[in-house]
């Protein structure tokens, strides 16, 4: 019964819920940044393909090729270029309806693709850990509000959370089973990940370091290093070859300019500040292997192996303690670190000696975004999953514990890389880490059941069902503003995602459209997403000379743009005003709003 009914029922529940919530939201939403794709990059990519103008297929530095390919199916229905210049201009009802339709048809292929790929998480995790952990992970991933929300917009991050984690999972299966097919699958997903966003290049480094970690923690028989190293390098080069092959095949600009291929891999922007270190590392490994038969590398790894317990404990304790510190910092009123301020301007934090050298503030802010945009149950699982691998007296370097260690290491590695580049990993910027955190959380929940000695099939089924129910409540409660989700553990005065994608803009535009003579009034908005769905004349930005000549009737202001515009005396009153014509409260948090303020009431 468990195999025939329960598992398919959970999978169908997750997919059906996503389909229902997603389809009803695709059209009724206005996002920031999307017009760059809808009215520019996607059309440019496919126009260049049609004209065989391969160099022009390089449409974005992300590079975002997978986004352009998938959203391009919307071109079969509409040519968006005809409506490109209407964003801030008056529109007819017919034009507004077509703009909403364009959003629907360009978002739909991306959403359906992510939905179709979702079951792969279950099947990969089932191979790694069995049905229980696989199902709990699948539920946590599938019912995550932020993952559903990001899959409904046209943006590289809407696909990155699919490709990066699946590449990792396939690689972990390869480590477990030594099945070459999964190494190839990992390479293919890595290739698509690189085509989506250059931050995926971190995996190139991570996959290089993993064989050394395996040798230290998992190579119990201690295969001779030279033989092990040779096999590991061949595996690594095979992985990189397939990733590069996929990148080359699907990115026509590389066909005539191989430099683009290098920019997407080893010369990526993600390596700008660190590539000399890794270049030296490659050279050292090569010379040691060719000249000294890996004697130096072997000596170093043997020395490190003596401290492997300390490394295992150290990373795990650091991970748990920094989450606990983040919780305390939040509950103590954002002291000593003010996360919203750091998120708004991470580069300015360098002036603070506490943050400049060690970048503690940036890293803790990254953790803040993660732990408060997942459910309390997932956070408990995340903490227990990491803590459980070291709380036993005798360490077990089992495959499940190593996976937790590797995933936690990658999360920390990702945050360190962001900090080095003076970037705070906001919710969207770290979206690829969410599936990894949910997998650790699922392992933690499973281990908690073991700790309570609840290991019978009925106990596991109850745990999976309870996880599904709590997660289902969370995702419906966040509808339709999925990307604004904040955990109930976060005090109401704060929000988890300080860099929104336009939630509430559609509702503000719809309200403005109901006003008398809406097409004849002037509105200023701190988000262009409002302008896209407003039928009248709409202004954004701050051009003092231009704005002084405009008779504004309404201002539309929002929480996540306040730090950018509130310093302007013209707009300060709008953000502070308690007298508004319309307000959309996001995530049931009064401090997270999009409101319409009448100019004559300021």
SS3 of 356-413: HCCCHHHHHHHHHHHHCCCCHHHHHHHHHHHHCCCCCCCCCCCHHHHHHHHHHHHHHH
- Mean pLDDT, the chain, as a whole number? 90
Task: Quote the number of domains for the chain.
Answer: 1
Residue 219 in domain = no
Mean pLDDT of 332-350: 76
List of residues 6+ apart from 315 with CB closer than 8 A: 405, 408, 409, 412
On whether residue 13 sits in a domain, the answer given is no
Q: What is the pLDDT of residues 255-305, one digit of tens each?
A: 999 988 888 887 776 666 666 777 787 788 778 877 877 788 888 888 888
Residue 393 is predicted with a pLDDT of: 60
Report if residue 148 sits inside a domain.
Answer: no
- State pTM to two decimals: 0.94
Question: Ranked by mean pLDDT, which of 299-303, 312-316, 342-346 comes out on top?
Answer: 312-316
Backbone angles phi, psi at 539, to 5 degrees: -120, 150
- Please indicate, yes or no, if residue 280 is contained in any of the structural domains: no
Domain extent for 547: 505-601
Domain membership flag for residue 575: yes
Q: Give the bridge partners for 585, in sequence order.
A: 593
Q: What is the pLDDT of residue 355?
A: 45
Q: Give domain status of residue 301, yes or no.
A: no
Q: Among 40-49, 151-160, 415-424, 564-573, whose mean pLDDT is lowest?
A: 564-573
Question: Residue 552 in 3-state DSSP?
Answer: strand
* Pairwise CA distance, residues 325 & 329, whole Å: 6
pLDDT at 218: 79
Which tens digit of pLDDT belongs to each residue from 404-440? Answer: 999 999 999 999 888 877 788 889 999 999 999 999 9
Cα(149)–Cα(542) distance, integer angstroms = 29
Q: What is the pLDDT of residue 492?
A: 92
| Average pLDDT over every residue of 573-594 | 92
DSSP states of 117-176 as a string? HHHHHHHHHHHHH-HHHHHHHHHHHHT-HHHHHHTTSSSTHHHHHHHHHHHHHHHHHHHH
Pairing of strands 537-539, 582-585: unpaired
- The answer to the question of residue 591 being in a domain is yes
In a domain, 16, yes or no: no
pLDDT tens digits for range 87-98: 889 999 999 999
Report pLDDT for 354: 47
Across 29-38, 296-305, 510-519, least confident range? 296-305
- Mean pLDDT of the region 341-352: 62
Give the model's pLDDT for residue 485: 96
Q: Is 304 exposed, middle or buried (0-12, 13-18, 19+ CB in 10 A)?
A: middle
Q: How many CB atoms lie within 10 A of CB 311?
A: 16
Average confidence (pLDDT) over 71-84:
94
Q: Of 425, 433, 427, nearest to 346 (Cα)?
A: 425
pLDDT of 353 > 80? The answer is no
């Amino acid at each position: 019964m468990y195999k025939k009914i329960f598992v398919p029922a959970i999978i169908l529940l997750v997919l059906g819920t996503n389909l229902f919530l997603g389809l009803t939201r695709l059209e009724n939403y206005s996002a920031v940044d999307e017009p760059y794709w809808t009215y520019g990059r996607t059309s440019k990519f496919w126009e260049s393909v049609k004209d065989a103008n391969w160099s022009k297929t390089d449409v974005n530095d992300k590079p975002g090729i997978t986004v352009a390919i998938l959203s391009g199916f919307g071109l079969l229905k509409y040519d968006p270029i005809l409506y490109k210049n209407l964003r801030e201009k008056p529109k007819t009802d017919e034009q507004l309806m077509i703009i909403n339709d364009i959003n629907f048809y360009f978002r739909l292929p991306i959403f359906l693709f992510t939905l179709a790929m979702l079951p792969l998480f279950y099947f990969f995790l089932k191979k790694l850990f069995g049905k229980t952990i696989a199902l709990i992970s699948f539920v946590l991933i599938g019912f995550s509000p932020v993952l559903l929300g990001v899959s409904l917009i046209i943006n590289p991050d809407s696909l990155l959370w699919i490709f990066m984690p699946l590449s990792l999972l396939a690689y972990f299966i390869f480590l477990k089973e030594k099945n070459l097919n999964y190494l190839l699958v990992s390479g293919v997903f890595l290739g698509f990940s690189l085509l989506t966003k250059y931050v995926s290049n971190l995996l190139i480094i991570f996959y290089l370091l993993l064989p050394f970690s395996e040798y230290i923690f998992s190579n119990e028989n201690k295969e001779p290093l030279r033989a092990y190293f040779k096999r590991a390098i061949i595996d690594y080069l095979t992985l990189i070859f397939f990733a590069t092959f996929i990148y080359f095949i699907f990115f026509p600009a590389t066909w005539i300019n191989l430099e683009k291929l290098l920019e997407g891999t080893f010369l990526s922007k993600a390596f700008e500040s660190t590539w000399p270190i890794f270049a030296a590392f490659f050279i050292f490994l090569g010379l040691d292997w060719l000249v000294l038969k890996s004697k130096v590398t072997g000596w170093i790894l043997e020395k490190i192996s003596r401290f492997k317990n300390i490394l295992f404990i150290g990373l795990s304790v650091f991970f748990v303690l920094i989450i606990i510190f983040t919780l305390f910092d939040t509950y103590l009123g954002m002291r000593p670190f003010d996360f919203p301020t750091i998120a708004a301007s991470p580069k300015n934090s360098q002036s603070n000696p506490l943050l400049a050298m060690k970048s503690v503030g940036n890293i803790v802010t990254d953790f803040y975004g993660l732990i408060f945009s997942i459910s309390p149950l997932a956070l408990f699982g995340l903490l227990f999953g990491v803590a459980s691998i070291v709380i036993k007296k005798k360490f077990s370097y089992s495959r499940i514990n190593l996976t937790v260690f590797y995933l936690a290491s990658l999360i920390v590695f990702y945050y360190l890389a962001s900090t080095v580049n003076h970037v705070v990993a906001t919710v969207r910027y770290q979206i690829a880490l969410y599936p990894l955190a949910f997998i650790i959380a699922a392992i933690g929940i499973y281990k908690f059941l073991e700790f309570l000695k609840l290991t019978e099939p009925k106990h596991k089924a109850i745990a999976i069902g309870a996880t599904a129910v709590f997660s289902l409540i969370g995702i419906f409660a966040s509808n339709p503003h999925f990307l604004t989700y904040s955990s109930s553990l976060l005090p109401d005065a704060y929000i988890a995602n300080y860099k929104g994608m336009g939630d509430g803009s559609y509702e503000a535009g719809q309200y403005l459209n109901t006003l008398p003579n809406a097409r004849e009034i002037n509105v200023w908005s701190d988000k262009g997403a409002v302008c896209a769905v407003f039928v009248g004349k709409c202004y954004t930005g701050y051009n003092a000379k231009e704005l002084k000549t405009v008779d504004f009737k309404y201002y539309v202001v929002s929480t996540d743009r306040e730090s950018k515009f509130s310093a302007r005396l013209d707009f300060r009153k709008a953000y502070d005003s308690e007298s508004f014509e319309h307000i959309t409260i996001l995530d049931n948090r009064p401090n997270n709003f999009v409101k319409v303020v009448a100019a004559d009431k300021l």
